[in-house]
Amino acid sequence: MIVGGNQAKLDFDNTEVAFRNKSNNDLEKAYWLFKMVSSSALIKVGTPLTNLALKIGLPIQGIIKNTIYRQFCGGETIHGCQPTIDELGQGQVTTILDYSVEGEETEEGFELTCKEILQTIAYAKANPLISFCVFKPTGLGRFDLFAKLDARDTLTPLEKDEFSRVHHRIDRICKASFEANIKILIDAEHSWVQDTIDDLAREMMERYNKEEAIVYNTYQLYRHDKLASLMADFSYAQTQDFYLGAKLVRGAYMEIERERALEKGYPSPIHVDKAASDRDYNDAIEFCLDRVNRVGLMAGTHNEDSSRLLAQQIIHRDISPKNRHVFFAQLLGMSDNLSFNLAAAGYNVAKYVPYGPVKSVMPYLFRRAQENTSVGGQTGRELALIITEQKRRKQI
């Protein structure tokens, strides 16, 4: 039985629904922003220049805040994100508060990040418009420590202590999520730290997912081994009697992965071409849907074909679009045509809402800018949608 009844009307080209929350001025700003980032030359030069300007204290934070930060971030603090949370909520889209401070490498910094994530969980508990919380494991411990564990190198006694603190932070976060009944996503990172992250995620799922999928690990389907990992984790979850939480993404670090593999002389973990990543991604969606009673699925993607496939398969399998185990997710400031049209058609949709001080979220913003430089790719699509909506508004 299909609940909702609007599924037949799902139309990713409906810009009226996609940009309902955006004023003409917002649209104009977004247009120029995507136009700017579509120049790869500008991004190549702009990234180190912006970093340098911030380092030497040039007053450019205001410019960043009113442009790229405004497009892709919710605010500097949790409370500062509330207007964004409300705005998304008006379009039936829920929020994933994402504390996006990166590059922290001190114990004090890791502790602060842990406390901040615990705050997001407490905030989510009192706010039905927040559907998930999230953390990046290397925000809670040294990247090189994760890499050492991944390489199966022996840790010094000091490093063992250090790792037990990382483990404790992750456990505190997952336990707090469990107690608050708020689902928590564990982001995926570079392949040379990912085994350690996967081990931790599996342990947390086994501990906290006995009655419900609370902890979700992330599977990067641009890796040729990750569909198999998903299947193996599902089998393990079955034998140990817990729910699997699976956020599916293609993966954000393709170039770095390929370069490192070449430099170090090992086979690249990334699929040979995009079609192979797409095929595994869509297979992973179907694998999870086939087991939807035991798997919590989040499709973290801006890909229209994968999103359409998931929407169609939900209907085809007579799964309620409001099933608590199936979510679509996009990043704030991107693919509003998917988020708001899916939500209007009755599906569960969430947006990552990154937040944090302007200076500290710059690595996140540079990644967004870099992945938007291809006009043939996502930026072209964003620009075309904005232009369509601007024309539509002029005609009425």
Ligand X SMILES: Cc1cc2nc3c(=O)[nH]c(=O)nc-3n(C[C@H](O)[C@H](O)[C@H](O)COP(=O)(O)OP(=O)(O)OC[C@H]3O[C@@H](n4cnc5c(N)ncnc54)[C@H](O)[C@@H]3O)c2cc1C
Counting contacts by CB under 6 A, is residue 392 touching ligand X?
Answer: no
Residue of minimal CB distance from ligand X?
300
Which of 148, 183, 250, 368 forms a contact with ligand X (CB under 6 A)? 250
Looking at beta carbons only, is 15 or 282 nearer to ligand X?
A: 282
- Written in H, E and C, the secondary structure of the chain is CCCCCCHHHCCCCCHHHHCCCCCHHHHHHHHHHHHHHCCHHHHHHHHHHHHHHHHCCCCCHHHHHHCHHHHHCCECCCHHHHHHHHHHHHCCCEEEEEECCCCCCCHHHHHHHHHHHHHHHHHHHCCCCEEEEEECHHHCCCHHHHHHHHCCCCCCHHHHHHHHHHHHHHHHHHHHHHHHCCEEEECCCCHHHHHHHHHHHHHHHHHHCCCCCCEEEEEECCECCHHHHHHHHHHHHHHHCCCEEEEEECCCCHHHHHHHHHHHCCCCCECCCHHHHHHHHHHHHHHHHHCCCCEEEEEECCCHHHHHHHHHHHHHCCCCCCCCCEEEEEECCCCHHHHHHHHHCCCCEEEEEEECCHHHHHHHHHHHHHHCCCCCCHHHHHHHHHHHHHHHHHHC
Interaction pattern, residues 311-350, with ligand X; x per rule: CB under 6 A: ------------------xxx-------------------
Shortest reach from residue 305's CB to ligand X, in Å: 8
**Which is closer to ligand X, CB of 218 or CB of 341?**
218
- Nearer CB in complex with ligand X: 14/378: 378
Given 142, 169, 226, 302, the residue binding ligand X (CB under 6 A): 302
Q: Output the six-digit token pair for 3.
A: 């609940």
393 makes contact with ligand X (CB under 6 A)? no
For residues 54 and 147, which CB has a smaller minimum distance to ligand X in the complex? 147
- Choosing from 139, 245, 251, 356, the residue that interacts with ligand X (CB under 6 A) is 251
Binding of ligand X by 252 (CB under 6 A): yes
Instruction: Choose which of 113, 220, 372, 379 interacts with ligand X (CB under 6 A).
Output: 220
Which residues fall within 8 angstroms of residue 390, CB to CB, at 6 or more apart?
24, 27, 28, 31
Site string for ligand X, 264-283 (x = CB under 6 A): ------xx-xx--x------
Q: Is residue 39 a contact residue for ligand X (CB under 6 A)?
A: no
Q: Phi and psi (nearest 5°) for 133?
A: -115, 175
Question: Does the footprint of ligand X cover residue 98 (CB under 6 A)?
Answer: no
Query: What six digits make up the tokens of 32?
Result: 């120029």
State the nearest-atom distance from the C-beta of 11 to ligand X, in Å.
Answer: 19
Judged by beta carbon, residue 113 or residue 277, the one nearer ligand X is: 277
Supply the minimum distance, in Å, between the C-beta of residue 218 and ligand X.
4
Does 300 interact with ligand X (rule: CB under 6 A)? yes
Q: Which is nearer to ligand X, 107 or 305 (CB)?
A: 305
Query: C-beta of 364: minimal distance to ligand X in Å?
Result: 11
Least distance from C-beta 377 to ligand X, angstroms?
6
- Shortest distance (Å) from residue 55 CB to ligand X: 27
CA pair distance 386, 197, nearest whole angstrom: 38
Contact by Cβ (8 Å): 139, 113: yes
User: For residues 227 and 252, which CB has a smaller minimum distance to ligand X in the complex?
Assistant: 252
- Residue whose entry in the numeric block shows the structure tokens 């842990």: 114
Q: Is 188 in the site for ligand X (CB under 6 A)?
A: yes
Of the candidate spans 33-41, 157-165, 169-177, 296-304, the one that interacts with ligand X by CB under 6 A turns out to be: 296-304
Which member of 104, 116, 150, 187 binds ligand X (CB under 6 A)?
Answer: 187
Positions touching ligand X (CB under 6 A) are 187-188, 218, 220, 222, 249-254, 270-271, 273-274, 277, 300-303, 329-331, 352, 378
